Amino acid sequence: MVSTDLESVDAFRARARAWLRDHLPPAPPPDAKDDYSEQAWLRARQTQRLLFDGGFAGICFPREYGGLGLTPAHQQAFTEESLPYEMPLLLNVPSLAICAAALLELGTEEQKRTHLPATLSGDTVLVQFLSEPRGGSDLAGLTTRADRDGERWILNGSKIWSSGAYAADYGLCLARTNWDVPKHRGLTMFLVPVHAPGVTVRRIKQVTGSTEFCQEFFDDVALGEDAVLGRVDDGWDAASKLLQHERAALGGTSPYTSGARPHLGGDATRLLNLARATGQWQDPRVREDVGEARAMNVVRDQLIAHVSRAIADGSLPPSAGAIARLFTAENAWLQTDMAVRIAGAAAATHGPGDAADTERIGTDYLFRAAWSLAGGSTEMARNVISERVLGMPREFAADRDVPFNEVRRGR
């Protein structure tokens, strides 16, 4: 039950509006290039600290761990008021909405009191160490291992596609700790210091030129018992909770993000501006595209609100976040494709003198496939919806009950 002595949403909104106006600079233009430089990460940390000191960080996190202990409605009000201002968007995903949210659910009291206030204040950045170079979508088939050595664990292996790992402090790393049981039953989640001896982080250059993604190598990394997040050999349960928060963050149902959420499909006003800049606003086909994009965004916002309420009141399970995650991915594809269709050749040949609105369309299109993978592939989202929301039978897996050391791999 929500406490009746909470500040009203309207009063909180008014207070946030005044504070934001007095303390934060305007947001960069919508078409500003993504910046994953060290300076950008430092700026995000500083802005997060400003929010924390001003009493507007961790709105839905409990007070005892540095948050405000307020409701998703308070968070939504703050998000709406914060849209015109610069916000530490780099820290939303995965640090706050995925990793900190999972730590809140899984951590010991000591882990939560140590890491959550530091994360909410921007002093600590968290990332995920889940995917592996040979793993594909079979996360439970991972081979990064952690072997017990007295009171320590020794971590060896490699992870990949870790967003922002080069700028992080800790990674939530899923490793195999028992090879004698089926693959889902022998995993453990660890909280790994990114700068510990034996950890190497290499940035990966993508087709867009971005180097946000990383690969990590673990060579005899020593971890204490206090690095275990959750229970030993019960890491699949921990990973499942992490993935639920990931789907919620990418689908727009997470109560732990603040500021703009361009990954949800963006603002259809961008397409309208593009149509005007390219002289096509009177073209009936272009007008239909802009109208469809706006309609899809209305449906998106209504779906996110409906799913969020249903999860909060228990009428849908947390895994229902996959519904919004799937829709927002498809909406992002639709809006990216429409932008290319309106821009035409300028999407690939933008140069001096062309409309500024066409500058990022080509690289956005190259990144389009990421929305079918981020937060788990759309195929996996469909499986989650069918099995965990609709109650349909699980698909067949030949290795489900086979000890992992008997599973044939790499053939």
Amino acid at 200: T
Q: Verify that 60 and 178 share a domain, yes or no.
A: no
Dihedrals φ, ψ of 193, to 5°?
Answer: -65, 125
Is 146 within a domain?
Answer: yes
Is 348 within a domain?
Answer: yes
User: Within 10 Å of residue 88's Cβ, how many Cβ atoms?
Assistant: 23
Element (H, E) at 223: strand 214-224
Supply the DSSP string of 19-35, one letter for each residue.
HHHHH-PBPPPTTPPP-
Domain residues for the domain of 194 are 128-235
Cβ–Cβ < 8 Å for 122, 52: yes
Q: Verify that 108 and 36 share a domain, yes or no.
A: yes
CATH number (domain holding residue 344): 1.20.140.10
Q: Verify that 80 and 172 share a domain, yes or no.
A: no
pLDDT at 1: 34
Is 397 within a domain?
Answer: no
From first to last of its 411 residues, the chain has per-residue pLDDT tens of 344 478 999 999 999 999 999 999 999 886 667 788 999 999 999 999 999 999 999 999 999 999 999 999 999 999 999 999 999 999 999 999 999 999 999 999 999 999 999 999 999 999 999 999 987 778 999 999 999 999 999 999 999 999 999 999 999 999 999 999 999 999 999 999 999 999 999 999 988 888 999 999 999 999 999 999 999 999 999 999 999 999 888 888 999 999 987 667 777 888 988 899 888 989 999 999 999 999 999 999 999 999 999 998 999 999 999 999 999 999 989 999 999 999 888 888 876 766 666 778 888 888 888 877 877 788 989 999 999 999 999 888 888 889 999 988 765
Dihedrals φ, ψ of 199, to 5°?
Answer: -100, 125
Closest listed residue to residue 227, CA positions, set 107, 95, 101, 105: 107
pLDDT at 374: 78
Q: Verify that 35 and 134 share a domain, yes or no.
A: no
Element (H, E) at 291: helix 284-313
Using DSSP's 3-state secondary structure scheme, residue 4 falls into coil
Closest listed residue to residue 35, CA positions, set 162, 209, 171, 201: 209
Is 195 within a domain?
Answer: yes
Q: Verify that 305 and 371 share a domain, yes or no.
A: yes
CA 46 to chain CA centroid, nearest Å:
20
CATH number (domain holding residue 145): 2.40.110.10
Closest listed residue to residue 271, CA positions, set 283, 261, 259, 260: 283
How far is residue 281's CA from residue 330's CA, in Å, rounded to a whole number? 25
Q: Verify that 149 and 110 share a domain, yes or no.
A: no
- Kindly state the tokens that stand for 43: 């700026």
Dihedrals φ, ψ of 110, to 5°?
Answer: -65, -45
User: Within 10 Å of residue 148's Cβ, how many Cβ atoms?
Assistant: 11
Q: Verify that 345 and 382 share a domain, yes or no.
A: yes
Is 197 within a domain?
Answer: yes
Look at the chain and report how many structural domains it folds into. Answer: 3
Q: Verify that 118 and 229 share a domain, yes or no.
A: no
How far is residue 122's CA from residue 45's CA, in Å, rounded to a whole number? 5
pLDDT at 78: 98
pTM of the model: 0.90
Q: Verify that 108 and 208 share a domain, yes or no.
A: no
CA 151 to chain CA centroid, nearest Å:
33
pLDDT at 4: 45
pLDDT at 354: 67
Give burial (CB, 10 Å; 0-12/13-18/19+) of 149.
Answer: exposed
Is 316 within a domain?
Answer: yes
pLDDT at 411: 57
User: Within 10 Å of residue 406's Cβ, how many Cβ atoms?
Assistant: 10
Is 104 within a domain?
Answer: yes
Using DSSP's 3-state secondary structure scheme, residue 159 falls into strand
Query: What letter does residue 99 receive in the DSSP assignment?
Result: I
Q: Verify that 106 and 133 share a domain, yes or no.
A: no
Query: Both ends of the chain: CA-CA distance in Å?
Result: 53
In terms of C-beta distances under 8 Å and separation of at least 24 residues, what long-range contacts does 381-390 make, across chains too?
Answer: 381/247, 381/322, 381/325, 381/326, 381/329, 382/322, 382/326, 384/247, 384/319, 384/322, 385/319, 385/320, 385/322, 385/323, 385/326, 388/317, 388/319, 388/322, 389/316, 389/317, 389/319, 389/320, 389/322, 389/323
Element (H, E) at 238: helix 235-251
How far is residue 127's CA from residue 166's CA, in Å, rounded to a whole number? 10
pLDDT at 356: 62
Supply the DSSP string of 317-376, one letter for each residue.
-GGGHHHHHHHHHHHHHHHHHHHHHHHTTHHHH--TTS-GGGTTHHHHHHTGGGGGTTTS
Q: Verify that 203 and 309 share a domain, yes or no.
A: no
pLDDT at 350: 72
Q: Return the residue matching tokens 């140590």.
A: 114
Using DSSP's 3-state secondary structure scheme, residue 203 falls into strand
Q: Verify that 309 and 209 share a domain, yes or no.
A: no
Is 409 within a domain?
Answer: no
**33 contact partners, CB below 8 Å, separation of at least 6:** 360
CA 60 to chain CA centroid, nearest Å:
17
